[in-house]
């Protein structure tokens, strides 16, 4: 109720503020999702630290000459950071993918599994039946 009372307001002489309030109202469910999972961080420090390497690299060497080069660089940096966060060696991951073996599991599978585990741990016992279904 408090959300609607605040963000449903309109101001006669302030169109930019009205536009922002409307955006908040349009994204109400996403903005209130933190109430369902209070363990989620309310800041973007981790995301900002993830891109810091790219900013430093760009400042030192400039940018790539082609869009495909930029896309390849961004893909590999993203894979490297994801491997690091999940506790896998980036080089072992690449080798596993190139050899088509399963020595290192697929990253999306690991992420889904860990997210499901975290969700199951965060929910009270009477709600756990909803996670399994």
pLDDT range class, residue 125, cuts 50, 70, 90: low
Are both 117 and 55 inside the same structural domain? yes
Between the alpha carbon of residue 54 and those of residues 13, 60, 70, 124, the distances in Å are: 42, 10, 11, 40
Are both 63 and 118 inside the same structural domain? yes
Are both 28 and 52 inside the same structural domain? no
Look up the pTM and report it: 0.52
Cα 19 from Cα 15, distance rounded (Å):
6
Candidates 85, 75, 99, 10; CA nearest to 49 is 85
When divided into structural domains, the chain yields a total of: 2
Are both 14 and 61 inside the same structural domain? no
Q: Answer whether residue 29 is part of any domain.
A: yes
More confident residue, 36 or 131: 36
Are both 51 and 23 inside the same structural domain? no
Are both 91 and 116 inside the same structural domain? yes
**Is residue 88 scored above 90 in pLDDT?**
yes
Are both 67 and 25 inside the same structural domain? no
Are both 54 and 81 inside the same structural domain? yes
Q: What is the extent of the structural domain holding 97?
A: 45-132
More confident residue, 41 or 84: 84
pLDDT range class, residue 133, cuts 50, 70, 90: very low
pLDDT digits (tens, 9 = 90+) for 96-123: 999 999 899 999 999 999 988 888 877 6
Residue 125 burial (CB count, 10 A): 6
Q: How confident is the model at residue 3, as a pLDDT? A: 87
Q: How confident is the model at residue 2, as a pLDDT? A: 86
Q: Answer whether residue 11 is part of any domain.
A: yes
Are both 84 and 109 inside the same structural domain? yes
């Amino acid at each position: 109720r408090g959300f609607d009372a605040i963000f449903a307001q309109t101001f006669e002489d302030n169109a930019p503020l009205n536009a922002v309030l409307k955006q908040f109202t349009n994204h109400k469910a996403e903005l209130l999702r933190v109430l369902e999972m209070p363990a989620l961080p309310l800041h973007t420090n981790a995301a900002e630290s993830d891109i810091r390497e790219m900013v430093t690299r760009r400042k030192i060497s400039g940018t790539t000459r082609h869009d495909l080069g930029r896309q390849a660089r961004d893909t590999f940096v993203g894979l490297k950071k994801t491997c690091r966060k999940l506790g896998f060696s980036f080089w072992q991951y690449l080798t596993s993918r190139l050899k088509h073996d399963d020595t290192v599991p697929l990253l999306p599978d690991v992420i889904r599994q860990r997210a499901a585990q975290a969700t199951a741990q965060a929910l009270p016992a009477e709600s756990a039946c909803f996670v399994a279904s």
